[in-house]
Amino acid sequence: MAMHNPPHPGEVIRELCIEPLGLTVTEAAKALDVSRKTLSAILNGHFGISPEMAIRLSKAFGGSAESWLIQQAQYDLWQVKNKGKEFKVKSFIPATPAFSY
């Protein structure tokens, strides 16, 4: 089920992981073994969650790496779908599909 305007994962990290623990961005970055600049870019929605970062987040704050990546994918997909851009794509799907999904 698609979400309505899902938050960027950085917002989730800030609100559900960093703030409740009373961590600074610098402390959290050190714990994740990433630069403060990298973590700050994620928290501010400028960078997405990579598979490597998903593993780091899973180890530091819980949840599966897959759940962190799913959040990013949901956010990215919603952003693309709601930009209002029309894609000019030729469909190769037959009128009566030979198979169903």
Structural domains of the chain, with CATH: 9-81 (1.10.260.40)
> How high is the pLDDT of residue 77?
93
Higher pLDDT, 2 or 44: 44
Nearest CA-CA partner of 31 in 40, 41, 23, 42: 23
Q: How far apart are CA 4 and CA 50, in angstroms?
A: 22
- Mean pLDDT within 57-78: 97
Report in angstroms the alpha-carbon separations of 75 from 10, 26, 89.
11, 25, 23
| Per-chain mean pLDDT for the chain | 92
Q: How far apart are CA 83 and CA 60, in angstroms?
A: 34
Over residues 11-58, the pLDDT tens digits come to: 999 999 999 999 999 999 999 999 999 999 999 999 999 999 999 999
Highest mean pLDDT among 1-5, 14-18, 81-85: 14-18
Global pTM reads 0.84
Where helices occur in the chain by DSSP H, the ranges are 9-12, 25-32, 36-43, 51-61, 65-81
